[in-house]
Amino acid sequence: MGLNLDFSVVLERWPLFLDGAVMTLELAFMAILIGGAVGTLCAVGRGSSNRFIAALCAGYVEAIRNTPLLVQIFLVYFGLASIGFKFSAFSVAAVALAINVGAYTAEIMRAGFESIPTGQIEAAEGLALSRVQVYWHVILLPAIEKVYPSLTSQFVLLMLASSVTSQISAEELTAVANYVQSDTYRAFETYILVALCYVVLSLVLRAAFWALGLILFPRRRRLGTSL
Amino acid sequence: MGGSLNANHLLFLGQGALWTIGLSAIALIGGGLVGFLIALARVSPNKLVRLTSGAYVQLVQGTPLLVIMFLGFFGLAALGFPMTPLAAAGASLTIYVGAYFGEIWRGCIQSVPRPQWEAAEGLGLSRTQRMLKVILPQAVRIATPPTVGFMVQIIKNTSLASVVGFVELARSGQIINNSLFEPFLIYAIVAVIYFALCFPISLLSRRLERRMGVGRAKLMPT
């Protein structure tokens, strides 16, 4: 039997794919926003002089980084449901992804914090900046600037990983693909198309982060270093 | 409900864990071979070879493993090439891991200091000799910590083989949960087993990284 590929029945369902892609981006956006904040706080917590807080943050990072996302999602989704909490698949998916990316962000941000020379902080204190000012202008923003490339590639990986939430029926791109292929019996064409969608999404996301970097860190632009 | 958790269930999970290890080994070996070829192709003097291997890496790294799994299992079956879950999962992981290893190892090959290449050339070694006798032995040392670190990703990613019906650790957890419906307990046990598999490797990779740092510092002329 020869190959007969027919993309037309799949392509005519393009509005579904568009909805799925938008949902994928929404999931990624929510997870990055929440997870980014959680991860940054956690990176600060790991350096805390309070040993309990430091151990808690380290435990969270290790627990998440050494277990699969799929199991984390099942644990949150079915676990919460079994003790009587019912949330939509979308919110559970966003929260599970946020918890996941938070741990990776924490590890990257810790490297960023460690790269700030102590002399800079002492100089800032010498200039009588307040604690908050020191943390914001001298530690946090320069740290983010240093690790921005690794941070953003982690976020692109997260967008791709959000495909796993199709397993708890969040209606994102992969779930749409599963639905379309069962509807059209064109599994190969559907998944090829969706793979291409993800490639385009990751290129778009990378370009967006690059542009954001130009706006956020004008110093880098003046120095002429590439992101 | 189907009763409570007993020794048989734990035995079933243990069996799943063994399949997780087996599938990880397949992915490591298959992906290692593909990755090695990709890494060599990425530093090839031939522009076409460089571009093709670069495109492979870009395409695979821009696609979720889950979609590659579906493509390998349902996609190929729809085209008339039915695959067993093990074959589909093994092949998908090989393709996926190959792209990442290729990129990691390319970086390692290129981070061997430039004078080493030039010295090897100056000694009149052929390109193959240069690679085998000068560059690769040094690249392997640089590559060890990130390669061990990526093994953690491989073990975690084999959990996605559950979606094509391959009964590894995550899938055996799902099967048991379908009869007992105690998701918190069962998925917590599954998570603990994954952690027990991955954490020692994470620690090893971190220790190797530290030792590398020391080794390199010693090599540096003062």
Q: What is chain A's alpha carbon radius of gyration, rounded to the nearest angstrom?
A: 21
Q: Which residue has the tokens 């990986």?
A: A157
Confidence of residue B210 (pLDDT cuts 50, 70, 90): confident
Confidence of residue A17 (pLDDT cuts 50, 70, 90): very high
pLDDT for res A222: 54
pLDDT in tens, A96-117: 999 999 999 999 999 999 989 9
- CA separation for the pair A45, B49 (Å, rounded): 47
**Closest by Cα among B85, B6, B122, B66 to A174:** B66
Q: List the single residue in B58, B67, B195 with the smallest CB-CB distance to A63.
A: B195
pLDDT for res B220: 43
**Closest by Cα among A173, A17, A29 to A94:** A29
Q: Does the pLDDT of residue B215 top 70, yes or no?
A: no
Which 8-state DSSP code applies to residue A47? T
Q: Does the pLDDT of residue A2 top 80, yes or no?
A: no
* Contact yes or no for A67 and B194 at CB 8 A: yes
Which ipTM score applies to this complex?
0.88
In a mutational test of the A interface, the residue from B63, B153, B180 whose CB has the highest number of chain A CBs within 10 Å is: B63
Neighbours of A6 (CB within 10 A): 11
Q: Does A111 touch chain B (CB under 8 A)?
A: no
pLDDT in tens, A60-75: 999 999 999 999 999 9
For domain B7-219, give the fold. Answer: MetI-like fold (1.10.3720)
Q: List the single residue in B75, B163, B181 with the smallest CB-CB distance to A191.
A: B75
Asked if B167 and B14 count as a contact pair (C-beta separation under 8 A), the reply is: no
pLDDT for res A227: 45
Confidence of residue B222 (pLDDT cuts 50, 70, 90): very low
For domain A8-223, give the fold. Answer: MetI-like fold (1.10.3720)
Q: Does the pLDDT of residue B175 top 90, yes or no?
A: yes
Q: Does the pLDDT of residue B89 top 50, yes or no?
A: yes
Query: Contacts of residue B160 in chain A, CB cutoff 8 Å?
Result: 68, 70, 164
Domain ranges of chain B: 7-219
pLDDT for res B219: 46
Average of per-residue pLDDT across A188-203: 94
pLDDT for res B221: 41
**Closest by Cα among A114, A116, A96, A117 to A38:** A96
Average of per-residue pLDDT across B133-155: 93
What token pair was written down for A120?
A: 């800079």
**B 157-176 residues inside an 8 A Cβ radius of A:** 157, 159-160, 162-163, 170, 173-174
Query: Amino acid letter at B10?
Result: L
Query: Amino acid letter at B42?
Result: R
Asked if A142 and A109 count as a contact pair (C-beta separation under 8 A), the reply is: no
Q: List the single residue in B67, B183, B188 with the smallest CB-CB distance to A198.
A: B67
Which 8-state DSSP code applies to residue A89? H
What token pair was written down for A116?
A: 């700030």
Q: Does the pLDDT of residue A223 top 70, yes or no?
A: no
Average of per-residue pLDDT across A114-122: 90
Which 8-state DSSP code applies to residue A185? S
Q: How high does pLDDT run on average in chain B?
A: 91
Q: List the single residue in A65, A82, A192 with the smallest CB-CB distance to B184.
A: A82
Asked if B88 and B69 count as a contact pair (C-beta separation under 8 A), the reply is: yes
